[in-house]
């Protein structure tokens, strides 16, 4: 187990972790991340039978424990995790003195593809492979003061962990191949594109995206040039320009509204950006589109 997964790391994360929706595109809300051992004041509540109206995933980081679910008893040791779906009662029946466990609590829309997979896996033991430890260690290593995108990075990485556990990202055949999806697409490209597509309203730095994908910005840039035929920065600008076009089609938004929605510091810089990528100003684009429509 990684030595980075310490109680102190999680205690710091608990104080700074962002809660709330990950993006408007996904019906997923993060509640909290918690880590406790048998000395924690809240531990006494977990040894009583209880349930929640949200999902929980428990990760055993050290020691052993036994959960009682219905009439079944499930033993977990270091490296194991267990999913509880909303309304599922559970109780801790046994634990060793060196127990350290982490739990992630979240809400997920019933129409989301992961929902059924998580419900089906609820109450069944899962084992964390290396990349899940790496992801937990990555979250713990983040500092709120080191990046303007802390909230986005942390929430996306937690969502990615849950996505992996649900079994939707990788097939069993490719699970040992760290950077390749089941359809042969580079996982780092997939993660970066998903991150960019989900966050057109903020200015994403290449270094921040590379850190999220756990590679250097030069490596990530080479991947984009290979698969997308454009640099990482060009792809970011392409997505932002595309989102600007969508927003400009909606009469309820003024050009200033669109500018602020996309994270520009002023309408002046938004006009320059749009002119560079579209060959016309936002006002000219809007007039041109509306003339065609009407």
- Give the H or E element holding residue 107: strand 100-108
Give, as one character, the DSSP assignment of residue 17: -
CA 132-135-137 angle, 5° bins: 110
The pLDDT value recorded for residue 1 is: 41
Give, as one character, the DSSP assignment of residue 262: T
Per the model's pLDDT, the better-predicted residue between 143 and 42 turns out to be: 143
Give, as one character, the DSSP assignment of residue 90: B
pLDDT single digits (tens) 109-130 = 988 888 888 888 888 888 876 7
Contact between 158 and 104 (Cβ < 8 Å)? yes
Confidence of residue 36 (pLDDT cuts 50, 70, 90): confident
- In angstroms, rounded to a whole number, what is the distance separating the alpha carbons of residues 117 and 64? 26
What backbone torsions phi and psi does residue 152 show, to the nearest 5 degrees? -65, -45
Contacts of 272 (CB under 8 A, 6+ apart): none
Tokens (6 digits) for 254: 């003024």
pLDDT single digits (tens) 163-183 = 888 874 333 333 333 454 444
The pLDDT value recorded for residue 171 is: 35
% of the chain at pLDDT higher than 70: 84
Contact between 66 and 115 (Cβ < 8 Å)? no
Tokens (6 digits) for 238: 């392409």
> Reduced to 3 states, what is the DSSP secondary structure of residue 127?
strand
DSSP string, 21-87: EEETTEEEEEEEEEEEETTSTTHHHHTS-B--SSEEEEEEEESEEEEEETTEEEEEETTEEEEE-TT
The mean of the pLDDT values for the chain is 80
Taking alpha carbons only, the member of 115, 78, 117 closest to residue 95 is 78
Among 15-24, 81-90, 272-281, the range of highest mean pLDDT: 272-281
The pLDDT value recorded for residue 196 is: 85
What backbone torsions phi and psi does residue 85 show, to the nearest 5 degrees? -85, 165
- In angstroms, rounded to a whole number, what is the distance separating the alpha carbons of residues 208 and 206? 5
- Mean pLDDT in residue range 267-282: 94
Rg of the chain (C-alpha set): 22
The pLDDT value recorded for residue 46 is: 57
- In angstroms, rounded to a whole number, what is the distance separating the alpha carbons of residues 195 and 161? 14
> Reduced to 3 states, what is the DSSP secondary structure of residue 101?
strand
Confidence of residue 291 (pLDDT cuts 50, 70, 90): low
Domains of the chain plus CATH, in order, are 7-145+159-169 (2.60.120.10), 187-234 (1.10.10.60), 240-293 (1.10.10.60)
Which of 20-24, 99-103, 259-263, 264-268 is least confident?
A: 20-24
pLDDT single digits (tens) 53-80 = 889 999 888 899 998 887 778 899 988 9
Taking alpha carbons only, the member of 149, 245, 134 closest to residue 198 is 149
Contact between 159 and 26 (Cβ < 8 Å)? yes
The pLDDT value recorded for residue 98 is: 87
Report pTM: 0.56
Confidence of residue 49 (pLDDT cuts 50, 70, 90): confident
pLDDT single digits (tens) 78-108 = 889 999 988 888 888 888 888 888 889 999 9
Tokens (6 digits) for 246: 């969508």
């Amino acid at each position: 187990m990684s030595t980075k997964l310490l109680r102190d790391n999680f205690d710091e994360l608990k104080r700074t972790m962002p809660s709330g929706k990950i993006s408007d595109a996904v019906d997923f809300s993060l509640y909290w991340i918690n880590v406790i051992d048998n000395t924690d004041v809240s531990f006494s509540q977990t040894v009583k039978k209880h349930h929640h109206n949200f999902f929980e995933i428990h990760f055993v980081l050290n020691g052993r424990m036994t959960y009682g679910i219905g009439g079944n008893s499930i033993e977990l040791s270091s490296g194991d995790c267990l999913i509880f779906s909303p309304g599922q009662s559970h109780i801790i029946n046994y634990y060793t003195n060196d127990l350290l466990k982490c739990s992630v609590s979240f809400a997920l829309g019933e129409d989301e593809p992961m929902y059924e997979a998580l419900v089906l896996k609820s109450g069944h033991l899962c084992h964390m492979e290396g990349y899940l430890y790496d992801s937990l260690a990555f979250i713990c290593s983040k500092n709120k003061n080191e990046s303007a995108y802390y909230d986005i990075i942390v929430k996306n990485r937690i969502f990615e962990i849950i996505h992996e556990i649900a079994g939707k990202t990788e097939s069993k055949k490719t699970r040992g191949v760290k950077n390749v999806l089941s359809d042969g697409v580079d996982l780092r490209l997939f993660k970066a594109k998903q991150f960019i597509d989900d966050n057109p309203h903020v200015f994403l730095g290449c270094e921040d995206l590379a850190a999220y994908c756990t590679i250097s910005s030069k490596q990530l840039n080479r991947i984009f040039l290979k698969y997308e035929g454009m640099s990482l920065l060009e792809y970011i600008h392409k997505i932002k320009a595309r989102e600007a076009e969508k927003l400009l089609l909606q009469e309820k938004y003024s050009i200033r509204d669109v500018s602020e929605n996309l994270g520009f510091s002023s309408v002046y810089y938004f006009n320059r950006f749009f002119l560079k990528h579209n060959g016309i100003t936002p006002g000219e684009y809007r007039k041109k589109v509306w003339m065609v429509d009407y």
